[in-house]
Amino acid sequence: MKVRVTVSLKEGVLDPQGKAIGHALHVLGFDEVGEVRVGKVIELDLADEDAAKAEARARAMAEQLLANQVIEDFAVEVVK
């Protein structure tokens, strides 16, 4: 079962990488770009065949390792 964990910075946390990308896009002429925030997507291939169990296991992984919950939020999605 494939599970996708999306990790992003919480609102209010500075994102210097996003700022740098936003600036570079403006320099390249993409003036329509507003705020840029950078995150990460982690795809897991789990042995669980039950979607609810796979989601719960991925959520536990995100809470314990994949996301720093002090500054990051995460979302878990079972990929069909």
Fill in the amino acid letter for 23.
H
As a whole number of angstroms, the distance between CA 2 and CA 70 comes to: 26
In this predicted model, what pLDDT tens digit does every residue of 19-51 receive, in sequence order? 999 999 999 999 999 999 999 999 999 998 999
Q: What is the 3-state secondary structure (H, E, C) of the chain?
A: CEEEEEEEECCCCCCHHHHHHHHHHHHCCCCCCCCCCCEEEEEEECCCCCHHHHHHHHHHHHHHHHCCCCCEEEEEEEEC
pLDDT greater than 90 at residue 7: yes
Q: For the whole model, what pTM was predicted?
A: 0.89
C-beta of residue 1 within 8 angstroms of C-beta of residue 49: yes
Domains and their CATH numbers in the chain: 2-79 (3.30.1280.10)
Mean pLDDT across the chain: 97
pLDDT-based confidence at residue 80 (cuts at 50, 70, 90): confident
In this predicted model, what pLDDT tens digit does every residue of 53-65 receive, in sequence order? 999 999 999 999 9
